[in-house]
Chains A and B, each alone.
Chain A
Amino acid sequence: MSDPTVPDPTVPEPTGSVGFDELYQLNVNGETRDVRDAWVGESLLYVLRERLGLMGSKGACEQGECGSCSVMVDGELVCSCLVMAASAIDQPIVTIEGVAPIGSPSDVQQAFVDAGAVQCGFCTPGLIMATHALLERSAEPSEFEIREELSGNVCRCTGYGRIIEAVQRVSVSRRADAESGIAS
């Protein structure tokens, strides 16, 4: 018996590598983006913000503690400050900019606004990413589950009450939509 979630080892993939001054590509929000003149140790957070101009992911601690830099890499919610950018070649990366087009917020983004879960907004992009990931895995999380799943995202303004309320609102409205047969 082996874990079905891991890639099938019988399917060979080419070995990737990124050289010193080489240009390399990252797949960000469905687009292939060139990264030039980068130092090998640069974090994905740094490359997203400073080299690709994607300022939505926020950097605060750069040590995995605050979650404001959260993105999806290969379908998993991770701290982009702890991902070495060049190690993410050939993996789909989704940032807050890829969640919804500007001007038409996702249901999670709208719920954060409606519930008053945004004050200074610094933690918000990371929390939106974490909330989408949470609701993807668990459509109707308990409050306990929400607290545990969002424990990697620090907010210094709201006290979390309204954030939890926002998550619950999305969960309730998605269920209502599903029950009335509306595709979300």
Chain B
Amino acid sequence: MPVLVPTSLDQAVSMLSATPDALVLAGGTDAMVEVNAGHRKPHHVLVVNRVAELRSWTFDPEASTVRIGSAVTYAELMEPPIADLVPALAEASRTVGSPQIRHAGTLGGNLGTCSPAGDGLPVLAALDAIVHLASATGERSMPIGEFMVGVKRNARRPDELITAVTVPVVSGYQGYSKVGVRNAMVIALATACIVVDTPGRTVRLAIGSVGTTIIRCTDAEAFAASAVDFDSGTASGDTVTRFGELAAAASRPIDDHRATADYRRHAIGVMAGRLLRRGFANV
């Protein structure tokens, strides 16, 4: 039975345990590129994007969290009401590929591929998302920082499916910024996501495409928490400059055929400063 199209999670995990070599296929926007190029020749395919539990998201008002099924597409993440609950994820989704890619591509696929240039990942990192996995033998959950292990490597076992992520609904500005050679259809050269938690008095910053995996800029975060004025929603020009410098210092970029390390580091500084400026008015 080479192509399996389950519609429930129970079916899906038991099929995967019966055929552990199956290619797990969601939107196919990463996997089919490899299949078309002959880099991947699957004998078995497990199609997960018709599994009802993975196709939906739910808001828990008591916990103030959103649980997003792994097969929810970027196009769906861009639509209210979820776009209003997790605005940075909607912004990041809009930068992915093209409408065709956003209709098929899923957040779970971004996690599965785990490229440092994945546009969903800096948002999940800045939100301290929890990743949920399930297999025929049980479920487990882990922080996004533990799930992402390295370049295109994650902590998923072959018998597991990524089922969902849980993110908090945060009160405060959040935004996503991406640099590439054009606006559409571009692999990021550098990305940044800011999440301001106004009641919690924290600023979180995650950067992508500038290291083996997504980096949280803890020095910049600690500095911002003490330097911005949460009550008036303002920050000084010096604070913005310093925040950008600390973010750039946290990056670990490399030179490659798409950009130099220097360019990427510079871009991180500019984007971090701009994002802080969008969240806090100038004083």
Contact = CB atoms under 8 A, between A and B. Distances in A.
Interface in B40-67: 40-45, 47, 49-50, 52-53, 55-59
Interface stretch (B25-33, B170-178, B258-266): B25-33
Contacts, number: 145
B82 A62 contact: no
B100 interface: yes
Interface in A68-95: 70, 76-79, 81-84, 86-87, 89-90
Given A84-B47, A152-B100, A13 B7 contact: yes
B76 interface: yes
A62 B35 CA distance: 10
B21 to A, nearest CB: 13
A26 to B, nearest CB: 12
Given A76-B104, A81-B32, A5 B1 contact: no
Interface string B57-91: 11100000000000010011001011000000000
Max chain B Cβ within 10 angstroms of own Cβ: one of A14, A63, A87, A133: A87
A161 to B, nearest CB: 17
B7 A18 contact: no
B3 interface: yes
A2 B41 CA distance: 37
Interface string A97-131: 00000000000000000000000000000000010
A89 to B, nearest CB: 6
A151 interface: yes
Interface residues of B, number: 50
Interface in A1-22: 1-3, 5-7, 9, 12-20
A177 interface: no
Given A64-B100, A78-B100, A87-B28, A152 B184 contact: yes
B207 to A, nearest CB: 25
Contacts of A149: 99
A148 to B, nearest CB: 7
Given A19-B2, A82-B32, A152-B184, A87 B99 contact: no
A37 to B, nearest CB: 13
B232 interface: no
A176 interface: no
Max chain B Cβ within 10 angstroms of own Cβ: one of A6, A14, A90: A6
Contacts of B2: 18-20, 40, 86
B4 interface: yes
Given A9-B53, A152-B101, A84 B7 contact: no
A13 B58 CA distance: 22
14 contacts: A3-B76, A16-B4, A64-B33, A65-B185, A70-B100, A78-B100, A84-B35, A84-B45, A86-B45, A130-B99, A133-B99, A148-B99, A151-B185, A152-B184
Given A84-B25, A84-B28, A89-B5, 13 more contacts: A5-B76, A9-B8, A9-B53, A9-B56, A15-B4, A15-B5, A15-B8, A18-B3, A43-B35, A63-B36, A79-B101, A84-B3, A152-B98
Interface of B: 1-8, 11, 25, 27-29, 32-33, 35-37, 40-45, 47, 49-50, 52-53, 55-59, 72, 75-76, 79, 81-82, 97-101, 103-104, 183-185
